[in-house]
Amino acid sequence: GAVVSQHPSWVICKSGTSVKIECRSLDFQATTMFWYRQFPKQSLMLMATSNEGSKATYEQGVEKDKFLINHASLTLSTLTVTSAHPEDSSFYICSARDMDRGAEAFFGQGTRLTVV
């Protein structure tokens, strides 16, 4: 089946630094990708919708200047957590839907971010 690859799978960074997470669709083109965040014992919540060649759409309450999204190609979207703080520690997952395969949603492996 279709594959979405997400890197890194885990990262530890110091407060104040920035972290970039990559999300690639390996065998299909994704004009739209989605970024989700999951805090402990909670369900996945959408952060933003990444659109190829245009600005991302952020959900209410998500700071667009803190979570920078770039979708420069049909197979790559990146999420950069800028000036990370401990409260940004979370599990981040990207997703893309393959409209040629019944609109099935495929997910990256997730990135566990720990800010110390």
Partner 1 sequence: KQEVTQIPAALSVPEGENLVLNCSFTDSAIYNLQWFRQDPGKGLTSLLLIQSSQREQTSGRLNASLDKSSGRSTLYIAASQPGDSATYLCAVPPGGYQKVTFGTGTKLQVIP
Q: Is 24 in the site for partner 1 (CB under 8 A)?
A: no
- Of 72 and 99, which has the nearer Cβ to partner 1? 99
Q: Is 23 in the site for partner 1 (CB under 8 A)?
A: no
**Cβ-proximal residues to 91 (8 Å cutoff; 6+ apart), any chain:** 37, 38, 39, 110, 111, 112, 113
Site for partner 1 in 56-115 (CB under 8 A): 91, 93, 95, 97, 99, 102-110, 112
Site for partner 1 in 39-58 (CB under 8 A): 43-46, 49
- Of 8 and 16, which has the nearer Cβ to partner 1? 8
Query: Hey, what are 97's tokens?
Result: 């839907």
Distance CA 73, CA 28 (A): 12
* Cβ proximity of 89 and 33 under 8 Å: no
